[in-house]
């Protein structure tokens, strides 16, 4: 199984949301976990194989509960 690296950055503005990058490719701004999972699904990663505490994720500044 290929390993990827997902970086989830801190909220960028008063509008909320967090920029998401996969292997240095910008996927967009996610406003919740559904958005994050959809970005990863579109990138070819099976959402059912994702665990938010996996080393796949680099949660910058805040974990998966902050959007």
User: Burial of 36 by CB count in 10 Å (0-12 exposed, 13-18 middle, 19+ buried)?
Assistant: buried
β-strand pairing of 6-8 with 57-59: parallel
Tens of pLDDT along the chain (67 residues) come to: 467 799 999 976 678 899 999 999 999 999 999 999 999 999 999 988 889 998 889 999 889 988 8
Query: How confident is the model at residue 14, as a pLDDT?
Result: 75
Query: What is the reported pTM?
Result: 0.86
Torsion sign, CA atoms 25, 29, 33, 35:
negative
What is the number of H-type helices and E-type strands within the chain? 1, 4
């Amino acid at each position: 199984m290929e390993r990827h690296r997902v970086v989830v950055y801190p909220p960028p503005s008063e509008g909320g949301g967090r920029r998401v990058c996969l292997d240095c490719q910008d996927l967009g701004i996610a406003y919740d976990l559904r958005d994050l999972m959809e970005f990863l699904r579109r990138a070819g990663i099976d959402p059912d194989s994702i665990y938010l505490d996996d080393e796949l994720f680099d949660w910058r500044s805040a974990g998966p509960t902050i959007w």
